[in-house]
Amino acid sequence: MIIIVIGSVVSIAVILFLLAIRPGDLPKPVPVSPVAHLDERKAAIYENLRDLQFEYRVGKLSDMDYQATKLDLQRELAKVLAEIESVLGALPATKTPPAAAPASPRKFMCPHCAAEFPQALKFCGECGKSMKARA
Partner 1 sequence: MENVGALAVLLAFCVALYAIVSSVVGKLKRKPFLVLSGERAVYSVFILLTIASGILVYAFLTGDFHFSYVAAHSNNAMPSVYKFAAWWGGQEGSLLFWSWLLSGYGAVVVFTNRRKHREFMPYVIAILSTIQLFFLLLNAFVVSPFQVLAEGQVVTTVADGAGLNPLLQYPAMAIHPPMLYLGYVGFAVPFAFAMASLISRAKGDSWIHTTRRWTIVTWLFQGIGIVLGSAWAYHVLGWGGHWAWDPVENASLLPWLGGTAFLHSVMMQEKKGMMKVWNMVLIAATFFLCIFGTFLTRSGVVSSVHAFAQSPIGKYFLVFIIVGVAATIALILMRLPYLRSESELESVVSRESSFLFNNLVLLASCFAVLWGTMFPVLSEAITNEKISLDAPWFNRLMIPIGLFLLFLTGVGPLFAWRRTSLESLRKNFQIPGIAGLLLAIGLFIGGTRSPWAITSLGLCLFVAASIFTEFFRGARAIHQKNGINFAHAVFELTHRNTRRYGGYLVHMGIVLMFVGWTGAAFNKNVVKEVKIGDSFDIASYRIKVTDLQQGDKGNYQWDSAVLEVSKNGSFLQTMEPERRFYKASQQGAAHIALRTRLNEDLYINFAAAQGNQATIQAYVFPLVTWIWIGAIVLVLGTLVALVPSKVTRQYARTEVVGITQKHVTVEN
Which positions lie near partner 1, rule CB under 8 A?
Answer: 3, 6-7, 10-11, 14, 17-19, 21, 25-30, 32-33, 35-44, 46-52, 54-55, 57-62, 64-65, 68-69, 72, 76, 115-117, 119, 121, 123-126
Q: Which is nearer to partner 1, 31 or 105 (CB)?
A: 31
Q: Which is nearer to partner 1, 81 or 98 (CB)?
A: 81
133, 134, 135, 132: which is closest to 123 by C-alpha?
132
CB atoms within 10 A of CB 65: 13
118, 114, 62, 71: which is closest to 89 by C-alpha?
114
Q: Which is nearer to partner 1, 25 or 106 (CB)?
A: 25
The most distant pair of C-alpha atoms in the chain lies apart, rounded to whole Å, by: 83
Residue 38: CB minimum distance to partner 1, A: 8
Residue 123: CB minimum distance to partner 1, A: 8
Q: What type of residue is 74?
A: Q
Angle in degrees, 0-180, between the axes of helices 63-89 and 36-57, rounded to the nearest 10: 170
Q: Which is nearer to partner 1, 1 or 135 (CB)?
A: 1
